[in-house]
Structure 1
């Protein structure tokens, strides 16, 4: 990946105002009440609804993502996904805040897996208000070869044994709404013929960030201390067409949470409540 060394260290800055409408729209779409107002704390991970980077049609790839070779390196592999990430919540973001996000590419790494060549691009995002740094995030993007065979279709299965367990129906309406609220043009989430015919998925794909939001939400509602850190990793895709179970077990200074569809865990995550100095 030496050809992409020039991308390491690249940075871009954007600003946005955390107006309540987007966060309330997601809460309602997920079956909650949309009664947040200016001054209220932004729900964790709802910052992904902001900082839209809308490209004109000429600057989009065939998959609906922005074309390669802008801020991100032009990795010559056709499939790209959000593989996971790590976040530290240093101070609350509040609705109405004007927030600056500085994004920096920190690494480009090539690996070989069972499915072929994989290229991981890690991007660090620092979100600050006038009061200082509020959220520090590392985001792992993965580029990969096309699938050699169609993945199996999702199947319905009972919720696994867990201290916390909720069930979500990831239907096309929910996936479309999340795509719209995050300005995510990736067609695997709303264009079923494309997802099946072009990327060999059996159905629409549930967004990784949507699963992460469901996971941190169930932890936040059940833990007795504020969440200070969160790390998540996608293991296998989740699809529309079968129930998605959102599960968790509390532990010392946090919890282990996961989504599960059929008999497989789709995303696994760790939630921390320890003071960040102690958790470092």
Structure 2
């Protein structure tokens, strides 16, 4: 086997040496964080209720020193995550199994392990997919299992051909339920900043417009993929009194603070098929929820 390196590389054999690398962390599910998230979503907050679906992403932040951040705002690669020699990183998708309710005040342990690293060629050039498995436990009881997939790629060179991009009003509510199965989303700089703060996310594509446009070549600030997924899970949960059993999502294309977008849900007795699109029908994300 090749010698392990922390230098940027696209050597499949070297990168696969990161498979099995693990990281453990512990966090208390503080109600104050939940109250702040509810404020972001313009929702009432009741700390006696269990943690809403996907709000576990508000916890377990790695305390990376500022001097250890890369230019894009992420932690420098080569420690837990492999040193992939591609400049841009995004969430590609994931799947979550809700095993037991999590309550505010619970102390939860998270065990994270890199389960796969794959290099592929796409239309935009080389891609590298990293799959991380997270297991959350409470006093040795499994409460949530997640597979998270990250994609690394060459600089986007994003082209919004035929897309009409308009700055939206900053004071608008983040979302509005037009019908029980249709949610309209109005992004704002303030909402993106607040979600970045809640998730301790320093990725510059969400708050540094000059970096977005000059380096990543995006037309605006990028709306967080996890926040899109959270809104989809919120719509799915809104029609059921029982909690979600599982949620799976796949990111298709980015959406920006200059775009309104809509989430539509096709619901059966125990399953939801959700799709998020821009107003010109560009698909942003697809998801499936089960209860």
Task: Describe the superposition over 1:44-72 as per-residue Cα deviations: whole angstroms up to 9, x where unpaired.
Answer: 11110011112112100000011111100
Name the counterpart of 1:264: 282
Aligned pair partner of 2:99 in 63, 72, 90: 90
What is the CA distance between 1:163 and its match in structure 2?
6.4
Do residues 199 (structure 1) and 216 (structure 2) align?
yes
TM-score, normalization: structure 1?
0.91
Report the CA distance shift for 1:269/1:3 in structure 2 as closer, same or farther (over 3 A). Answer: same
1:151, 1:200 within 8 Å by CA — same for their partners in 2? no
TM-score by length of 2: 0.88
Deviation at 1:118, TM superposition (A): 0.6
User: Alignment partner of 1:198: what SS?
Assistant: helix
Q: CA deviation at 1:258?
A: 1.9
Could you say which residue in structure 1 is the equivalent of 2:43? 32
Identify the residue that residue 131 of structure 2 maps to in structure 1: 122
Q: How does 1:207-226 map to 2 (within 5 A)?
A: 207-226=224-243
SS of residue matched to 1:25: helix
The residue aligned with 1:235 is 252
Judging changes above 3 Å, is the alpha-carbon distance between structure 1 residues 45 and 154 closer, same or farther for their aligned structure 2 residues?
farther
- The whole-number CA distance in structure 1 between the counterparts of 2:273 and 2:186 is 22
Distance 1:162 1:75, change over 3 A: farther
Trace 1:83-162 onto structure 2 (pairs within 5 A): 83-130=92-139, 132-152=141-161, 154-155=164-165
1:162 deviation in Å?
8.4
Point out where structure 1 has 5 or more consecutive residues left out of the alignment.
274-280
Matched, 1:3 2:14: yes
Partner of 1:77: 86
Structure 1 residue 149, shift from structure 2 partner = 4.9
Aligned to 2:9: none
Distance 1:145 1:113 in 2: 10
Distance 1:182 1:191 in 2: 16
Residues 223-273 of structure 1 deviation map (CA, whole Å, 9 limit, x = unaligned): 353210110000010111121212211025211012211211201000012
Output one character per residue of 1:148-183: Cα deviation in whole Å (capped at 9) or x when no partner: 454445547xx9x98611112111100000000000
Q: Aligned equivalents of 1:43 and 1:154: distance in 2? A: 34
Question: 1:162–1:248: 8 Å Cα contact kept in structure 2?
Answer: no
- 2:52 and 2:243 map into 1 onto residues whose CA distance is 12
Alpha carbons 2:157, 2:218 under 8 Å: kept: no
Contact 2:157/2:216 (8 A) holds in 1: no
Q: Which residue of 2 aligns with 1:183?
A: 200
1:154/1:57 Cα in 2 relative to 1: closer, same or farther (>3 Å)? Answer: farther
Q: CA–CA distance in 2 between the matches of 1:149 and 1:272?
A: 34
Unpaired segments of 5 or more residues in structure 2?
Answer: 1-11, 167-175
Distance 1:154 1:215 in 2: 23
On the 8 A contact 2:180/2:239 being kept in 1, the answer is: no
Whole-angstrom CA distance in 2 between matches of 1:57 and 1:224: 43
Tell me, in whole angstroms, the C-alpha distance in 2 between the residues paired with 1:102 and 1:258. Answer: 30
1:20 and 1:209 map into 2 onto residues whose CA distance is: 20
CA–CA separation in structure 2 for the residues paired with 1:233 and 1:210: 13
